[in-house]
Structure 1
Amino acid sequence: MQLDKILHVEDDESIRIIVEMALVDISGFTLLACDGGHEAISQVEAFAPDLILLDAMMPGMDGIQTLIEIRKKPNCLNIPAVFMTARIQESEKQEYLDVGAVAVIEKPFDAMSLGDRLESIYQASLISQDIHNQE
């Protein structure tokens, strides 16, 4: 399976624009950009993304709270989630992984390679799910 549809949740408009250029213009993905958790939660099921890319620190509802709410939707339990954050201490990274993220990407990120990186993360998550399902 190829990665196609990505839900991006980010409150900073300039980062949303860079990610859109990286993922749509450079990598050819279908992207739905949301400026916060509430918008993402209301649109995630209709969009049915292959992967969710979440900003960790957002006002109101942060990335972890957003992911927890998305996971309550029956069709969204196994969608791989990736956090993006400027704060990347091991304890924080572990916190993101503990709530079900498959990876954490550090800001600033390389826009030219973001699509390839997400594709690799997505493929690795599919292999991991297959192994988990066989146990």
Structure 2
Amino acid sequence: MSSINRKLKTVLIVEDEEDIIEILRIAIEFNSDFSLHFAKTGPEGLQKAIILQPDLILLDVLMPGMNGLELIEELKIFPETEGIPVAFITSRVQKNEIQEYQKRGAIGVIEKPFAPLEITAKIHSLWEQTYQS
């Protein structure tokens, strides 16, 4: 399949805060045509990523147990997940932090707090940037 015409079909969001999950669920399901899945921990996110093989993964940076930076490294180990684009959704957006995310392979960052009505457009923008380069 030509990567330029690749359609975003499945997104996995790994986020431990229930209120953020609900905001994302409502905002995205209302404005999108892709399938949305959630995990609340790093290990659950890894397991779901291997099984679902989503088109895009969004990770929170700060989670108990396995954090987002550890999870992005784990995703690189498995053949089922090593090529999946990953972005962070976080309030940690200092220049040095963003550089660290990019160094680890992240395609971008969605800053918290985010405007719920803009989140779907931001996800699509990350997707398009990934497959236009």
Structure 1: 5+ residue stretches without partners: 129-135
What's the TM-score once normalised by structure 1's chain length?
0.90
How far did residue 28 of structure 1 move? 2.9
**What is the CA–CA distance in structure 2 between the aligned matches of 1:26 and 1:114, rounded to whole Å?**
9
Q: Which amino acid aligns with 1:6?
A: V
Q: Structure 1: which 4+ aligned runs deviate by more than 3 Å?
A: none
How far did residue 116 of structure 1 move? 1.3
**What is the CA–CA distance in structure 2 between the aligned matches of 1:124 and 1:12, rounded to whole Å?**
27
**What is the CA–CA distance in structure 1 between the aligned matches of 2:13 and 2:99, rounded to whole Å?**
21
Whether 2:77 is the aligned partner of 1:72: answer yes
**What is the CA–CA distance in structure 2 between the aligned matches of 1:9 and 1:78, rounded to whole Å?**
17
Q: Which amino acid aligns with 1:102?
A: I
Q: Which amino acid aligns with 2:50?
A: E
Q: Which amino acid aligns with 1:118?
A: I
Deviations 1:59-103 (A, max 9, x none): 111101011111111121221111011121100111111100000
Residue in 2 that maps onto 1:51: 56
Aligned residues: 128
Deviations 1:17-54 (A, max 9, x none): 11111222222321110001000111112211000000
Aligned residues: CA RMSD:
1.0
Q: Secondary structure at the match of 1:73?
A: coil
Whether 2:108 is the aligned partner of 1:109: answer no
Quick one: percent identity of the two aligned structures? 38
Structure 2: 5+ residue stretches without partners: 1-5
